[in-house]
Structure 1
Amino acid sequence: MGDWEGVRLHVVTGKGGTGKTTVAGALAMALAAGGRKVLIAEVEERQGLAQLFDVPPLAYEEQRVASAPGGGEVYALAIDAREAMHEYLAMFYRLGRAGRALDKLGFVDFATTIAPGLRDVLLTGKAYEATRRRTGDHFAYDAVVLDAPPTGRVVRFLDVTTSVSSLARVGPINRQANSITDLIHSPRTAVHVVTLLEDMPVQETADAVAALQAAHIPVGAVIVNQVRPPHLAARSLPAARRGRLDHDDVLAGLRAAGLPASDRVVGLLTREAADHAERTALEKTQRTQVDELGRPMYELPRIADGIDPTALYELADALAEQGAV
């Protein structure tokens, strides 16, 4: 399992717009390679996984959404707090249909309002159950990937079981909260943070890593998404950044490529090269800041044509090649 041997629950978070759902899907595909069975679950009611895997909207039941190389399988689930509450009431209080009758009276909304953390306990509780479920002598899933809320809310989402545990000091709710807390704070969990090489995402990543560590929640890797390869040789970047690329060299390159060669085109290319060099320098600075976080770092390429199931295989391969699995 690469860098994360023994991890059963992989939580994926990141600032909005960094592509955390895509990365979560790629990680699930990578984990499933070689004949393993992996569950990926979402909690934000956005149906992002259905779009990612190009399947109909997910329901509150696990369904197969993709095959992985070597005979692996990826299953997906949209965790809904209301359905989780019905399941919870049936499992721990034997209410069955009576639980759904309570819902008609607004019980779920009432319960999650007076105990706001209860909603997150229901959501994380379903992932917890999937990590420990067994089929005979084996786990039902070799790993569970949780597409979690963004970095600004992830610590509260994962650690809210502590407050609920103190709210309900005895009974099934207390036991469930304590069990989830034990899993989240154990080496069986790793929280991976997705970022871009830009100021705000990197800063939020640093803040999230610090907050997770302060809460004693295991931090996994920092996954840098949408990395663009440099289009200029390293030795050319300083001159390009200053707008001083050799005019004759650019003209010669255009002619060799069979492209229009004129002073106007050279001027346009020189300005584009300056922008590219500036961005490359900024990304180098951001990469250094990510390195300083002291966590394993993986890089995923920017895929210009958009993300589809085929692209997920490419991203999963990139994670595997870097030792993520």
Structure 2
Amino acid sequence: MASENRPASDAVKPVAKKPELLRQQRRQLQQQLQEKPYTFGFYQTLRRFECLYLQKPRIGEALRPVDDALRLSQEPSLAFAPAALASFTAEGEGQASRLAVHFFGLFGPNGPLPLHLTEYARDRLRNADDPTFSEFLDVFHHRMLSLFYRSWASAQPTVNFDRPQEDRFSVYTGALFGLGMPSLRNRDEMPDFAKLHFAGRLSAQAHNGEGLVAMIRHFFKVPAVLEQFVGEWMKLPDSCWCRLGEAAEAATLGVNIAIGDCVWQCQQKFRIILGPLNFTEYEQMLPGKDSSKRLRALVRNYIGDSMNWDIKLVLKKEKVPCITLGQGDLLGLNAWLGDRPDDDDADDLLLEPMRDMA
């Protein structure tokens, strides 16, 4: 079962990479960018630099340009470029890598500056080997491009997950259903990452049976059905008991009187039917197992404690074992005495997880 392999605490940790491996990956990326910059996308390239320079701030968040993983600039050109990236210069002695783009900046046919300034910058750069004007504007280009990338990356859950310890998207998503503060994380057996995955269902104003079944099927990868309006005896408080000698209007048979200290009702309980299961899946749902605890936490996160519920486990008929002494079989849970009277799936086990917790 997939859930059995999930740790109780689901905090995602960054994969530790050896410095030599990181240096090798940086060299490979820089070489590829130098040879064929036009084959790379702008967002893709900056994201890869973020992942290879984990010791540096995210692009667009550094307080000083020297702290960034690379410098961003714009190539002065009047052409309508077919690619986003223009060129790449690898890092050198005391110099950060430099990435030049076509698509965004002050120069070019789409830039805000007059076209003659683009021509001037291009002429000085090509004919006089004087990049002064271009590099001056690159001071602004670097900041604009960094913030442009950051505005995109902040709305991408996968990019935020590149550095789980700095993941802000999970905070935004968790705030939709009461998981936005650190004090609310890792409070039960249901992994927080699973809660974020089901944010759409958990944040809905009205919760329904179909949503609960869908969550169980997806999380545990087992068949699940919801049986509604399951009858049960509900204990009455002392103040609701009918006593002889009280006012007649408060004790009319068939109207407002209940004989005894409990009543039968079918509106406050439902049943989750899991199966048919194989024997491994069946055992993982028994009381005390991790999957049983996670199922209880999942249901409570979805419906709270306003309703009663139980679980019926259904074991495939061909998987029903024969009881063997000394094997640790649990009579009433995963073992049956003698031959079963029929050839149907074993569906005679009912569990009440909330009572087990109490």
TM-score interval for Structure 1 and Structure 2 normalised by the shorter chain: under 0.3
- Asked which structure has the greater RCO (Cα within 8 Å, sep 6+), the reply is 1
User: Counting helix residues as a fraction of each chain, which structure ranks higher?
Assistant: 1
Bigger Rg over Cα: 2
